[in-house]
Amino acid sequence: MTETYVIGVDVGTASARAGLFDLKGRMLSAAKRDITLYREGGSIVEQSSSEIWDAICAIIREVVQGAGVSPEQVIGLGFDATCSLVVMGEGGRPLGLGGGDPFRDIIVWMDHRAVTQAERINAIGHDVLRYVGGRISPEMQTPKLLWLKENRPEVFGEAWQFFDLADFLTWKATGDLSRSTCTVTCKWTYLAHEARWDESYFRSIGLGDLADEDFVRIGTRIVETGTRLGDGLTNEAASAMGLKPGTAVAAGMIDAHAGGIGTVGIDGKPTENLAYVFGTSSCTMTSTTEPVFVPGVWGPYYAAMVPGLWLNEGGQSAAGAAIDQLLSFHPAAEDARGRAQTAGKSLPAFLAGLATAKVETLSETVLAAKGLHVVPEFLGNRAPFADPHARAVIAGLGMERDLDSLIALYIAGLCGIGYGLRQIIETQASHGAGVKRVVISGGAGASPLVRQLLADACGLAVVAPLADEPVLLGSAILGSVAGGAFLDVKGAMRALSAIASVYEPAKGKIGDLHQERFISFTRLQDVGRGLSRPGA
Asked, for residue 296, whether it belongs to a domain, the answer is no
CATH classification at residue 176 = 3.30.420.40
Q: Which of 234, 253, 272 is the last residue of a domain?
A: 253
Q: Domain boundary at 228, 253, 278, which?
A: 253
- Whether residues 24 and 164 share a domain: the answer is yes
Question: Is the CB of residue 264 less than 8 Å from the CB of residue 439?
Answer: yes
Instruction: Kindly state whether residues 148 and 52 are assigned to the same domain.
Output: yes
3-state secondary structure 22-50: ECCCCEEEEEEEECCCEEECCCEEEECHH
> With contact defined as beta carbons under 8 Å apart, do 75 and 4 qualify?
yes
Rounded to whole angstroms, the Cα distance separating 468 from 497 reads 11
Pair 390, 524 in one domain: yes
Residues 50 and 163 in one domain: yes
What CATH number should be reported for the domain holding residue 369?
Answer: 1.20.58.2240
d(CA 34, CA 143): 28
Per-residue DSSP letter, 194: T
pLDDT per residue as tens digits for the range 190-233 = 999 999 999 999 999 999 999 999 999 999 999 999 999 999 99
Gap between the terminal Cα atoms of the chain: 69
d(CA 255, CA 441): 11
- Residue 65 forms part of a structural domain: yes
Residue type, 505: P
Residue 410's contacts (CB-CB under 8 Å, 6 or more residues apart) are 323, 326, 327, 348, 351, 352, 355
Beta-carbon contacts of residue 252 (< 8 Å; ≥ 6 apart):
78, 79, 80, 81, 166, 167, 169, 170, 180, 182, 183, 225, 258, 475, 478
The answer as to whether 472 is a domain residue is: no
Same domain (yes/no): 243, 327: no
> If DSSP codes are grouped into helix, strand and coil, which group holds residue 84?
coil
**Count of structural domains within the chain:** 2
d(CA 15, CA 37): 10
Helices (runs of H) and strands (runs of E) counted in the chain: 18, 22
Same domain, 383 and 243: no
pLDDT digits (tens, 9 = 90+) for 227-278: 999 999 999 999 999 999 999 999 999 998 998 999 998 888 899 999 998 9
173 within domain boundaries: yes
Query: Are 95 and 176 members of one domain?
Result: yes
Per-residue pLDDT of the chain (536 residues; tens, 9 = 90+): 689 999 999 999 999 999 999 999 999 999 999 999 999 887 899 999 999 999 999 999 999 999 999 999 999 999 999 999 999 999 899 999 976 788 999 999 999 999 999 999 999 999 999 998 889 999 999 999 999 999 999 999 999 999 999 999 999 999 999 999 999 999 999 999 999 999 999 999 999 999 999 999 999 999 999 999 999 999 999 999 999 999 999 999 999 899 899 999 888 889 999 999 898 889 999 999 999 999 989 899 999 999 999 999 999 989 999 999 999 999 999 999 999 999 999 999 999 999 999 999 999 999 999 999 999 999 999 999 989 889 999 999 999 999 999 999 999 999 999 999 999 999 999 999 999 999 998 888 999 999 999 999 999 999 999 988 999 999 999 999 999 999 999 999 999 999 999 999 999 999 999 999 999 999 999 999 888 777 66
Q: In the listed set 218, 253, 288, which residue is the last one of a domain according to the structure? A: 253
244 and 157, same domain (yes or no): yes
What is the model's pTM? Answer: 0.88
User: Does 327 share its domain with 242?
Assistant: no
Q: Would residue 439 count as lying in a domain? A: no
What Rg value do the Cα atoms of the chain yield, rounded? 22
Residue 229 has what DSSP assignment?
P
Q: For the chain, what's the residue count? A: 536
Residues 6+ apart with CB under 8 A from 203: 211
- Residue 283 belongs to some domain of the structure: no
How many other CB atoms are there within 10 angstroms of residue 51's CB atom?
Answer: 18
526 assigned to some structural domain: yes
Same domain, 338 and 213: no
Domain span at residue 106 reads 5-253
Is 305 part of a structural domain of the chain?
A: no
- Environment class of residue 492 by beta-carbon count within 10 Å: exposed (0-12), middle (13-18) or buried (19+)? buried
**Domain shared by 246 and 332, yes or no:** no
Domain shared by 398 and 249, yes or no: no
